[in-house]
Structure 1
């Protein structure tokens, strides 16, 4: 089970926290091998960037190395695949989504002493680079391209509507627990799409250790139990959601579903 607390996550690299999450959901993930691969990437990057005279040129070279020479890229064809949220698969396929690619790039940047941090921007995970006495720069980890503030605003408008604005809070560096929490949500969503309900249930159980008695997470867990045909347990979760959120539009539908469960023969699991 995922037994790291917020303080634990903040004292390690983001990729390490994400890897611990990966292993908790899918124990077959080989943590030692993943860390070995990451270490090899760092050593290669350190050797190839050693000749660069300053940090800014080192970072530019790292981006070229990561996206061009090593071939990491955003998965355009299967964006919602669970392969894009498990670090071992991201390293194997050299493909991912912003948060997984960003975590690998962030790991390398930090190991190289570069001033890069992660941001859970409302639309996607991005990286910010804070050079001394210069304006902050932003990177889209999906393709390694720089993102202007006007582009960030356009993303926000597309997300929240024409009156949306980018606040300073939106572009501040995020702590690891926040990023890992969002990573977990993306992972659960991907596994549900693939009907990997047993793994999705592990995600839901982990989420409830982080935010106990969250009615929406309990509702989602009920849905997963329903797919696993554990109807009595699903009904318990649905009842909790209905009690906590009686005005939510889903409550009316779930009341009908609970009634169906109650009228059906009990199946023991």
Structure 2
């Protein structure tokens, strides 16, 4: 489990938090090497943009450097691959998803003293720039393009329905804890698709250390337990979800699952 409280997580960079959680999931993860690679990228960015005092132009230079010269890009062919959420693979392949690419970009932007921060927008992770004159801009870290408020409103309507309104809370700066929890959910889902159930279970346990008693996370852990033939542990997690979310459409189906799982003989692992 993570040995950090919420304040300690928020004092880290988002990248550092991601390195910590990945090291818990996979003890062989090369976190030290990744830190050196990130420091080298930061030095290269500082060297390339050291003569640009204008912060707006410095941001434009970082976008050009990151997405064009270095070639980082969103993985449109294998979006749901676990490699897109693992920073060693993202740096190696220069492909990722919004949260992994955005975390690296954010790390570099902070080194260049640019006012960039995280936003856990409902549809995906985005970056916000709060300029010193009060102007705000938003960047899609998947491709490095600026996003208008009109586009964000369209994303929200597509996600939540035609009567949803874009509110300030949708664009608020997010805590590292919340972003890391979403990152874990993405990684867990990818590992489940790839049938890496033991690693997925570690993701689920870590997510629950960030959001204890989350019924949806406990339901997902129940599914993982079921794949690992831990029938009674799966039944217990499903029962908790049913108790906490009785109106959820999945509850009735899970009741049948609980009954069947409780009839199976106890297996010790």
Q: Name the TM-score class by shorter chain.
A: over 0.9
Normalised to the residue count of structure 1, the TM-score between the two structures is 0.95
Comparing 179-188 with 239-248, greater Cα deviation is found at 239-248
1:260 and 1:42 map into 2 onto residues whose CA distance is 54
2:252 and 2:138 map into 1 onto residues whose CA distance is 44
Aligned twin of 2:95: 95
2:176 and 2:168 map into 1 onto residues whose CA distance is 19
Aligned twin of 1:21: 21
Aligned twin of 1:254: 254
Aligned twin of 1:229: 229
Deviation at 1:262, TM superposition (A): 2.9
1:248 and 1:114 map into 2 onto residues whose CA distance is 43
State the superposition RMSD in angstroms.
Answer: 1.4
Structure 1: which 5+ runs fail to align? none
Comparing 203-212 with 63-72, greater Cα deviation is found at 203-212
Deviation at 1:134, TM superposition (A): 4.8
Comparing 20-29 with 86-95, greater Cα deviation is found at 20-29
In the TM superposition, what are the counterparts of 1:196-207 in structure 2 within 5 Å?
Answer: 196-207=196-207
Q: Does 1:106 align with 2:106?
A: yes
Aligned twin of 1:170: 170
Compared CA separation, residues 260 and 93, structure 1 to 2 (3 A): same
Structure 2: which 5+ runs fail to align? none
Normalised to the residue count of structure 2, the TM-score between the two structures is 0.95
In the TM superposition, what are the counterparts of 1:1-269 in structure 2 within 5 Å?
Answer: 1-269=1-269
**2:138 alignment partner, SS class:** strand
Deviation at 1:98, TM superposition (A): 0.6
Deviation at 1:153, TM superposition (A): 0.9
Compared CA separation, residues 239 and 55, structure 1 to 2 (3 A): same
Comparing 88-97 with 214-223, greater Cα deviation is found at 214-223
1:244 and 1:172 map into 2 onto residues whose CA distance is 28
How many residues matched? Answer: 269
Deviations 1:195-234 (A, max 9, x none): 1110110111112222222222222111101001111221
